[in-house]
Chain A
Amino acid sequence: MTEQSHVALNEVVRRYEGPPAVHAMGPINLTICRGEFFSVVGPSGCGKSTLLDVLCGLVRPTSGSVHFEGRELHGEVPDGIRVVFQEDSSMPWLSVRQNVAFGLRTSGKPEKEIAELVDHAVSFMGLAQFADHYPAQLSGGMRQRVCIARTLVLRPRLILLDEPFGALDQQTRLLMGDELLRLWRETGATVLLITHALDEAAMLSDRVGVMSARPGRFIDMVETGWSRDRDSRIVSDPKFGSLTARLWSCLREESLKTMGWAA
């Protein structure tokens, strides 16, 4: 492979001391290329969120190394990575515009430039009408759009999303998936999406990693082969069905294990 690896995890293990001691994740070996859209699916509690925490530097791996853009992470978050969390991380005391501008406060950019970037991000996510509203006045989906707009405005090179659409209904999820693809194409960033929804992973990604039950390890890597300008209409493509089926066939046994039903 001649492409530069953007993110690389090498024999990464994460344990918690406890009591009780938990082997949360690993060993994980993963390489993501620049500009790739990579999804992670797996049963509950398998360590998907831990993977994200380790990847962005919030948490140090117990053993193994994490490299971002060639440099190793040592427990601090490097510049260029942004995260969209599962929980609503919009700040209720700031308006939509102020929320989106939040990350630019420390950038030292002149006010005019900040205002322009914010306006662009806000309209890109379809929130222009609500720019001066407060998060409490918006629906859950719109609040997540605010969080995504906040990520977008900083031109990150790596975007991590931890089940960002978990709290939304199915139709909104599909539309938000389209938004995410648009965002991905516009910024050219590398995207790692953690999701429960197999169809979401199959539809949006270039590659899907299937994690086992705890301790989470990758048990399958599925290449989707979609073209770059895809959107939610690919659900009608027969390959979509077989991809989802393949993911489920890997995942089903792991899920049963997690729920304690497997033999």
Chain B
Amino acid sequence: MTRRRAALFVRIAVVAGLVISLEICCRTGIIDPLTIIPPSEMIVSMVDHIGSGEFNESIVNTFSTIILAFVMAVGFGTLAGALVHGSSRLRDVADPLLASYYSVPTFIFYPPLVALLGLGKTPLVVLGVLSAAPAVMISTLSGLDGVPPVLMKLARIHRLSPARTLWWIVLPAALPRLFTGFKLALSYALIGVIAGEFILSGTGLGYAISFAYQSFDNRAMYGLMLFVLLVAIIANGILYVWEGRLARRRSVG
């Protein structure tokens, strides 16, 4: 058995073990059922509530907001990154900004955004883009930096047009790092949007969870929570595996 596969098994075993012990603790009353409900009940609740269709509108709302924020972040971030990369002066200005950007809790801008744009989709999308776009920009810069200069010389020897140089050499060479940026963008957009809905919104899954909590409906709250976490884990997991495949083909081993 390869080491990676062994690690995977152990990982699944550990997580399963934790879930099972949580289940036992909840069932036997070691953990107060008013605090945490057993995992099995969480799953049942999730299936019930999501299956019943009462949250369909929230689901559509939330995910469409996330996807919109993601697409815009990727678009802006890649363009901005490409522009900045082309000018060393812009780069000198942008580098310290980008280095400090994620030290600021972007989330604190959300209440002013709501005051500015009202409760609804718009401030959530803006929040998502503000959270995600700089990561894309950073990885675009990193990706473009990582194009080996010898390949740019090769492009000139083969007398490739600028468009062809971009499409045949720059993009494929930069792709692994660009993709890391996309993966981060999805993660940040999702976190930003859901956090926004949770704290200050009238619609969406985040709001639904917060509402359930404040209505003391623990069962619904845990069910929805589990759903959101599962979606996040699966979506990010898919991109993570994809990223790994991209990197593995190009590196030793």
Contact = CB atoms under 8 A, between A and B. Distances in A.
Contacts, number: 54
Chain B interface size range: 20 to 34
A58 B154 CA distance: 10
A82 B148 CA distance: 18
Contacts of A88: 150
Contacts of B173: 91-93
B114 to A, nearest CB: 44
A136 B247 CA distance: 11
Nearest to B154: A89
Q: Would you call the interface of chain A mostly helix, strand, loop, or mixed? A: loop
A237 interface: no
Interface residues of A, number: 23
A42 to B, nearest CB: 21
A91 B249 CA distance: 12
Interface string B141-164: 000000010110110111110001
Interface stretch (A5-13, A33-41, A73-81): A73-81
A218 interface: no
Given A89-B154, A91-B172, A93-B175, A79 B250 contact: no
A106 B157 contact: no
Interface of A: 56, 58, 76-77, 79, 81-83, 85, 87-89, 91-94, 102-103, 105-106, 134, 136-137
Interface of B: 148, 150-151, 153-154, 156-160, 164, 168-169, 172-173, 175, 249-252
List the 5 closest A-B pairs by CB distance, nearest first.
A92-B250, A87-B150, A93-B172, A89-B150, A85-B150
26 contacts: A56-B157, A58-B153, A58-B157, A79-B159, A83-B154, A85-B154, A87-B150, A88-B150, A89-B148, A89-B150, A89-B151, A89-B153, A91-B169, A92-B173, A92-B251, A93-B173, A93-B175, A102-B158, A102-B168, A105-B168, A106-B158, A134-B250, A136-B249, A136-B250, A136-B251, A136-B252
